[in-house]
């Protein structure tokens, strides 16, 4: 594959660095009319696209990663180098991508969307077999899952620090994480009424490698009056503050939120 990449470097747009490579690959998929989450590679080192030949490539730091598209329960493997030729609505002659069927890994050689069914994506393997899925299963996004439930883990600040900030099994954060939340002076009530306040605010902790508990939170400026939170069902407030984390691992971008 490396020799194939080298033969298309001349005249190609080439960028290096995970953030810009990810941005360029997503823009290309969008331009082609394909779901923006089709290529969830991690720590991307190089992206290249030769518009003249239609050849694109991605090089990631890891030798291989596996990603499961949870909506369809399909696991896909991405090699260190992923290449393809592009057409409108299609990636063809793909290398470096495999899908797991039962106990076998089958090479994916083509991915496409047709004008007749723009909400469906078809994967074709090297064996000639193909399968079609909802395009929404490959949409770019982050999964949210409950990180801390006060009615399960406890309402006190001590419970919060023990379970959440210090390694609760549901709250372990891999990679960099952005923690954010809201404060309201309105305490918890068991009624379904709404309570307004001008003293509520949103805040976050900067994405740093330091312990969040030792880092000052940044309060977002108020641009409109912020209504007090509505207490309903399982929504609870810990010390009148609710906190969430948005996890940003190695570009798998999984999120966690406090329920």
Neighbouring-strand partners of residue 78: 65, 97
Task: Give the Cα separation of 125 and 143 in Å (integer).
Answer: 28
Whole-number average pLDDT of the chain: 76
pLDDT digits (tens, 9 = 90+) for 62-104: 999 999 998 898 999 999 999 999 999 999 999 999 999 878 9
- Entry pTM: 0.58
- Domain stop point among 138, 172, 201: 138
The answer on 125 and 175 residing in a single domain is no
The answer on 167 and 134 residing in a single domain is no
Look at residue 191 in the predicted model and tell me its pLDDT.
Answer: 63
Q: Could you identify the residue written with the tokens 């984390």? A: 245
**144 within domain boundaries:** no
Print the SS3 string covering 210-227.
CCHHHCCCEECCCCCCCE
- Domain stop point among 78, 113, 138: 138
- Domain range for 83 is 2-138
Confidence of residue 149 (pLDDT cuts 50, 70, 90): low
The answer on 118 and 14 residing in a single domain is yes
73 close to 59: Cβ distance less than 8 angstroms: no
118 close to 32: Cβ distance less than 8 angstroms: no
Confidence of residue 16 (pLDDT cuts 50, 70, 90): very high
The answer on 178 and 129 residing in a single domain is no
Highest mean pLDDT among 47-51, 114-118, 148-152, 241-245: 47-51
**258 within domain boundaries:** no
């Amino acid at each position: 594959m490396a020799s194939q990449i080298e033969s298309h470097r001349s005249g190609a747009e080439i960028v290096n660095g995970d953030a810009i490579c990810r941005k360029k690959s997503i823009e290309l998929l969008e331009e082609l009319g394909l779901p923006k989450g089709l290529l969830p590679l991690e720590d991307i080192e190089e992206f290249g696209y030769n518009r003249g030949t239609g050849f694109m490539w991605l090089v990631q730091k890891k030798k291989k990663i596996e990603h499961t598209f949870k909506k369809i329960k399909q696991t896909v493997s991405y090699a260190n180098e992923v290449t393809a030729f592009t057409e409108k609505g299609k990636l063809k002659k793909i290398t470096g991508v495999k899908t797991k069927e039962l106990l076998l890994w089958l090479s994916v050689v083509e991915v496409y969307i047709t004008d007749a069914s723009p909400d469906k994506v078809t994967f074709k393997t090297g064996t000639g077999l193909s399968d079609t899925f909802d395009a929404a299963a490959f949409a770019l996004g982050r999964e949210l899952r409950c990180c801390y439930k006060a009615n399960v883990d406890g309402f006190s600040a001590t419970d919060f620090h023990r379970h959440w900030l210090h390694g609760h099994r549901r709250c372990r954060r891999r990679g960099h994480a952005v923690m954010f939340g809201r404060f309201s002076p309105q305490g918890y009530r068991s009624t379904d009424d709404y309570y307004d306040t001008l003293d509520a605010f949103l805040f976050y902790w900067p994405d740093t490698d330091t312990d969040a508990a030792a880092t000052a939170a940044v309060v977002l400026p108020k641009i409109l009056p912020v209504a007090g939170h509505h207490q309903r069902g399982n929504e609870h407030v810990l010390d009148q503050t609710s906190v969430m984390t948005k996890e940003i691992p190695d570009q798998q971008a999984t999120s966690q939120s406090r329920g």
